[in-house]
Amino acid sequence: MLETRKLCKSFGAIDVTKSVSIKLERGERRVILGPNGAGKTTLFNQLVGELRPDSGEIHLAGEDVTALPVAARTRRGLSRSYQKNTLFDGLTVEENLSLAAAVATGHESSMWVDSLTRPDVREIVQEVANQVNLMPYLHAKVSAVSYGVRRQLEVGVALATRPLVLLMDEPTSGVGPEMSKGFHDLLNNLPRDLTLLIIEHDMDLAFDVADTITVLNYGEVVFDGEPEAARGSSLLKEIYLGSWEDA
Amino acid sequence: MTPALLTAGPLALDASFWVLQGLNALQLSMLLFLLSVGLTVIFGLMHFVNLAHGSLYAMGAYVAASAAGLMGYWAGVLLAPLAVAAFGVLLYWGLIRRMRRSGPMAQVLVTFGLIFVMLDLTRIVWGDLALAAPMPELLSGRLTILGLEYPIYRLVIIVLGGLIYGGLYWVLSRTQIGAMIRAGVDNDAMASCLGINVEQLFFLVFCVGCALAGLAGAVAAPLLSVTPEMGLSILIPTLIVIVIGGLGSLKGAIAGSLIFGFVQTFGAVLAPQLASVLIYALLAAVLVIKPVGLFPARG
Amino acid sequence: MFRHTPFRYATLALLAALAVLYTLNAEYFGLELVAEIAVLAILVLALDMVAGFGGMVSLCHGALMGIGAYAYALLTTAGGLTAPVGMLGAIAITAAFAWVIGAICSRSHGIYFIMATLAMGQMAYSYVFEAPIFGGDDGLSGISRLDLSLIGLDLNDGRSFAFFCLVMLGLAYGFSALVLSSGLGRSLSGVMHSEQRMRALGACVWRVKADMFGVSGGIAGLAGVLAAQHVMFVSPGLLAWTVSGEALVVVILGGLGTLVGPLVGAVAFIMLKHEISDMTSYWHLVVGLILIAVVMSGANGIFGWIESQVERWRPRRAAMTDEEIRKREVLSDA
């Protein structure tokens, strides 16, 4: 479904992505682990097209998308949520979801039809709002809801584009343990054929939801395999030292 | 049209033509530099767009012209920057400081309003008629360079612009206060964490910017007739200069000024039909290729 | 995002009623005033569409209006077209110019966008000034108004022309409201709030901007056509950047991003201008002070301020108060 081939990227003398090759099957749920500065978000930015890789290829559903801009990749089914909330702050929760659904249904450039009231748009908004528990906040302005709700919306907006592959950049960053648990339920609510690539710091959550795990260190893939195998790996213990004991 | 083609063609223009136009271009560039450098550094440091900068220039010209009439040319040239800087102090405490937290849109609008206010204030104080400023005896002659007679006064403007550029370059790159300003332009939040009093720095830079605008008005006064609209008519060229050069940098201000001066001057003599459109087309081209200008203060 | 509220409908109805009553009873000077207000109102509607709903603060809308006026003048005089075809042609030409400007400037933001549009406008101004077919400083004359004798109207009559301008204003308003409530209008709101996210959602950001700028330009073109028909003469002054600046002042005075506000602003601006000009020759001083006061007050113009007062007094049901949100969050956490 999503594949990288020998992806490389460097900023000056620092290699932030070193020949990264990963392959996700349809419906696979993969978690990317790695310490701060391992190049996880940089990898994401290349996958979605916000950064151009120096070399290597990115394939989405069998098509080479390496040269395509962000919007074109999204239209082909790649969607992302951000680690740092990137929402339409002045608008309501419902409007945020609707804008995403409008693009997904092709109403975003119509000059005559109100995309917000289209039945197909409304349907997606309702569905996503249920999935990510946003029903109570639909009419509230984003700037007025709590941080936790915004995190949920961040994922909701990405989901409302109706993606084939969803990239989530630390969906639980900055929220408490209660929310992390809620997020776990959220993932279980998602359709099984949706391919997920998640950057996550919470080990419990990572091992819980992942079919496969990729570990990045200094821009390099140092582990790629089943969570069970990861648990036993001594290499990982070294990288994660302190937090590993908690897991 | 390349210079080589021109000189080789039937229109063969001699060296003195190029020297003359080159000097004219330089003189225009330096005048614009005096104006744009204050505006651009104020923007770089405070993210503040002061559209009324041109009005400060007009004010400088009026003060210089009036003072020259009473106390002679040199008093005017000295007094104008001081008077405009003093007015800048009032502006800073009355308006600018309160507008620091507002968005660029609000700042553009308030200073746009200020243009209107200052326009009518100059009309109230000095009247609608154009004022003529005298040229000092000492500088009113002509100098022969490369077989060409050129007004000393215009040469003085070129030298003055060069000196101010050199002085600012030295202050910004070699002194403590320059390092502080550069730090503030780069990241004002970080700079204030380092113990730099950014607010005080803003005030200082704002006043210096105003004084330079006043100085530009004073030295331009004997060359032009001093009218209430002169501030408005210089505003657009100044803005073009800083946008081409890139907001916030000294290098951008000098580069933008030179580009404007030369394109304008040579455009007017070589392609008169296109001259007025040329500079705007250039600005549009720069913005399309490099949307933040040639030498922006921040990458 | 753009929405009609009962208060906005009420304001529109009130404005329309006042305009009709005034036009029915006005003398020559009053009718001139109505036409002048209607032209300005159409121009500021166009500007508010892009500035208030897309964050594209344009300083070339005066120039776009001028392009519309010159296009109409040339199409109907030298071009020999009839007035209705000339009007449509002029609007289409202006929209095309605006679309190109919007596309070119779509990468610039903030002050750079303002400067880029200023450059585009000044380029048009300089060109019109220089090129012989536009008549240079003298402008073009001999422009005729639309012939509506088929339905028994003579637009050379001041009252009929004032009503004609009002009808055009009504159409322009309806069209703006329609487009702002469309998929394109909604996308534009998204672009204003977060261009990055909009791109990540799969929208083509520059197209959204260019399309809306084109629509806005078409409306500015209509203002130009009416301005040309009103005075039956066009001059380069129409394209000057100060016209764009003045339009921006009117939008701010009325209330940016409300669409109704700029209409209020246009009425207030023209009335004020004539009142103050009668009293003093320092009209700019007064306008400048008002502008500074309005912006510094933090209120969103005259209409925006009244609207916020009305809303505070009677909170809309759609938007929850912070109190309610907190209550619901507590409930859902439990």
Round to whole Å and give the CA distance between B17 and B23.
Answer: 10
Round to whole Å and give the CA distance between C292 and B114.
Answer: 7
Question: What's the rounded mean pLDDT across residues B276-291?
Answer: 84
Torsion of CA C110, C116, C121, C126, to 10 degrees: 140
Q: Is the minimum CB–CB distance between C111 and chain B shorter than 8 Å?
A: yes
Put simply, the answer to whether C329 touches A103 (Cβ < 8 Å) is no
pLDDT digits (tens, 9 = 90+) for A100-150: 999 999 888 888 888 888 999 999 999 999 988 899 999 999 999 988 899
Q: Does position B6 have pLDDT exceeding 70, yes or no? A: no
Token representation of residue A76? 């082909």
Helix residue ranges, H only, chain A: 40-48, 70-75, 93-104, 119-131, 147-159, 177-189, 203-209, 227-232, 234-246
pLDDT digits (tens, 9 = 90+) for B164-214: 999 999 998 899 888 888 888 778 788 888 888 888 888 898 999 999 999
**Alpha-carbon distance C193 to nearest alpha carbon in chain A (angstroms):** 5
Put simply, the answer to whether C1 touches A110 (Cβ < 8 Å) is no
Domain that holds residue C143: 6-238
Let me know: does A51 contact A42? Beta carbons within 8 Å: yes
Domain membership of residue C30 (yes or no) is: yes
Sequence-ordered list of residues with C-beta below 8 angstroms from that of B72, at least 6 positions apart, any chain: B136
Q: Does position B4 have pLDDT exceeding 50, yes or no? A: no
Put simply, the answer to whether C122 touches B236 (Cβ < 8 Å) is yes
Q: Does position B30 have pLDDT exceeding 50, yes or no? A: yes
- DSSP-derived pairing of the beta strands A29-33 and A195-199: parallel
Sequence-ordered list of residues with C-beta below 8 angstroms from that of A32, at least 6 positions apart, any chain: A40, A43, A197, A198, A199, A200, A213, A214, A215, A216
Q: How many CB atoms lie within 10 A of CB B100?
A: 13
Domain membership of residue B52 (yes or no) is: yes
Round to whole Å and give the CA distance between C219 and C45.
Answer: 8
Distances (CA, A) of C106 to A44, C57, C102, C205: 26, 12, 6, 8
Round to whole Å and give the CA distance between C55 and C48.
Answer: 9
- In this prediction, residue C324 carries a pLDDT of 55
Domain membership of residue B2 (yes or no) is: no
Q: With helix as H, strand as E and coil as C, how does A72-132 read?
A: HHHHCCEEEECCCCCCCCCCEHHHHHHHHHHHHCCCCCCCCCCHHHCHHHHHHHHHHHHHC
Chain C residues with CB-CB distance to A104 below 8 A: 201-202
Chain C residues with CB-CB distance to A88 below 8 A: 189-190, 193-194, 197
Round to whole Å and give the CA distance between B87 and B214.
Answer: 10
Structural domains of chain A in order of their starting residue, each with its CATH number: 1-77+163-247 (3.40.50.300), 84-162 (no CATH)
Put simply, the answer to whether A103 touches C179 (Cβ < 8 Å) is no
Domain membership of residue C125 (yes or no) is: yes
Q: Which amino acid is at A215?
A: V
Domain membership of residue B3 (yes or no) is: no
Measured distance between the N- and C-terminal CA atoms of chain A, rounded to whole angstroms? 30
- In this prediction, residue B88 carries a pLDDT of 94
Q: Does position A95 have pLDDT exceeding 70, yes or no? A: yes
- In this prediction, residue A242 carries a pLDDT of 47
Q: Is the minimum CB–CB distance between C310 and chain B shorter than 8 Å?
A: no
Put simply, the answer to whether C208 touches A109 (Cβ < 8 Å) is yes
**Alpha-carbon distance A145 to nearest alpha carbon in chain C (angstroms):** 7
Domain membership of residue C328 (yes or no) is: no
Round to whole Å and give the CA distance between C61 and C239.
Answer: 8
Query: Within 13 Å of residue B46, how many CA atoms lie on the same side as its CB?
Result: 29
pTM of structure: 0.88
Q: How many CB atoms lie within 10 A of CB A96?
A: 29
Give which of A79, A212, A242, A239 is closest to A157, Cα–Cα.
Answer: A79
Round to whole Å and give the CA distance between B164 and B158.
Answer: 10
pLDDT digits (tens, 9 = 90+) for B225-234: 899 888 888 9
3-state secondary structure of B253: helix
List all residues of chain C from 144 to 163 with a beta carbon under 8 Å from chain B.
none
Domains in chain B, number: 1
For chain A, what is the mean pLDDT? 87
Round to whole Å and give the CA distance between C269 and C251.
Answer: 10
DSSP string, C99-163: HHHHHHHTT--HHHHHHHHHHHHHHHHHHHHH-GGGTGGG-EE-------GGGT--TTSHHHHHH
Domain membership of residue C259 (yes or no) is: no
Give the residue numbers in B contacting C (CB under 8 Å), as ranges: 43, 49, 95, 98-99, 102, 104-106, 108-110, 112-121, 123-124, 232, 236, 239-240, 243, 247, 273, 276-277, 280-281, 283-284, 287-288, 291-293
Written as tens digits, the pLDDT of chain C (334 aa) is 888 999 999 999 999 999 999 999 999 999 999 999 999 999 999 999 999 999 999 999 999 999 999 999 999 999 989 999 999 999 999 999 999 999 989 988 888 888 889 889 988 998 898 888 888 888 898 888 988 888 888 888 989 999 999 999 999 999 999 999 999 999 999 999 999 999 999 999 999 999 999 999 999 999 999 999 999 999 999 998 889 999 999 999 999 999 999 999 999 999 999 988 888 888 889 989 999 999 888 888 999 999 988 888 765 544 555 555 555 554 444 3
- In this prediction, residue B80 carries a pLDDT of 94
Q: Does position B113 have pLDDT exceeding 70, yes or no? A: yes
Cα angle C88-C168-C31, degrees, rounded to a multiple of 5: 125
- Exposure pattern of C164-178 as b/e (b: 16+ CB <10 Å)? bbbebbeebbebbbe
**pLDDT-based confidence at residue A241 (cuts at 50, 70, 90):** low
Domain membership of residue B138 (yes or no) is: no
List all residues of chain A from 126 to 165 with a beta carbon under 8 Å from chain C.
133, 136-137, 139-141, 144-146, 149, 157-158, 161
Put simply, the answer to whether C325 touches A140 (Cβ < 8 Å) is yes
pLDDT digits (tens, 9 = 90+) for B94-110: 888 888 777 777 888 88
Chain C residues with CB-CB distance to A137 below 8 A: 325, 328
- Exposure pattern of C7-37 as b/e (b: 16+ CB <10 Å)? bbeebbeebeeebeebbeebeeeebbbbbbb
Torsions phi, psi for A31 (to 5 deg): -110, 135
Q: What share of chain C is helix, strand, coil (3-state, %, to 5)?
A: 80, 0, 20
Put simply, the answer to whether B109 touches C295 (Cβ < 8 Å) is yes
Q: Give me the residue label for tokens 């790996």.
A: A233
Top pLDDT among C254 and B9 is at C254
Q: Residue B144 forms beta bridges with which residues?
A: B149
Let me know: does C65 contact C227? Beta carbons within 8 Å: yes
Domain that holds residue B57: 14-128+143-289
Chain B residues with CB-CB distance to C242 below 8 A: 232
Domain membership of residue B296 (yes or no) is: no
Q: Residue A55 forms beta bridges with which residues?
A: A8
Let me know: does B222 contact C101? Beta carbons within 8 Å: no
Q: Which amino acid is at B130?
A: A
Q: Does position A77 have pLDDT exceeding 70, yes or no? A: yes
- Chain B interface mutation, best of C60, C100, C108, C111, highest count of B Cβ atoms under 10 Å: C111
- Chain C interface mutation, best of A51, A73, A78, A108, highest count of C Cβ atoms under 10 Å: A108
Q: Does position B9 have pLDDT exceeding 50, yes or no? A: no
Domain membership of residue C301 (yes or no) is: no
For chain B, what is the mean pLDDT? 85
What CATH code is carried by the domain that includes residue B110? Answer: 1.10.3470
Chain C residues with CB-CB distance to B119 below 8 A: 284-285, 288
Domain membership of residue B61 (yes or no) is: yes
Question: What's the rounded mean pLDDT across residues A213-227?
Answer: 86
Query: Within 13 Å of residue B201, how many CA atoms lie on the same side as its CB?
Result: 24
Domains in chain C, number: 1
**Alpha-carbon distance C138 to nearest alpha carbon in chain A (angstroms):** 39
Q: Which amino acid is at A159?
A: L
Distances (CA, A) of B145 to B17, B158, B160, C109: 12, 14, 18, 46
Let me know: does A48 contact A158? Beta carbons within 8 Å: no
Chain C residues with CB-CB distance to B123 below 8 A: 282
Question: What's the rounded mean pLDDT across residues A203-228?
Answer: 84
Put simply, the answer to whether A88 touches C332 (Cβ < 8 Å) is no
Put simply, the answer to whether C202 touches A115 (Cβ < 8 Å) is no
Question: What's the rounded mean pLDDT across residues A5-24?
Answer: 88
Put simply, the answer to whether C295 touches B243 (Cβ < 8 Å) is no
Chain C residues with CB-CB distance to B291 below 8 A: 107-109, 112
Round to whole Å and give the CA distance between C190 and C197.
Answer: 8
Domain membership of residue B239 (yes or no) is: yes
Q: Which amino acid is at A164?
A: L
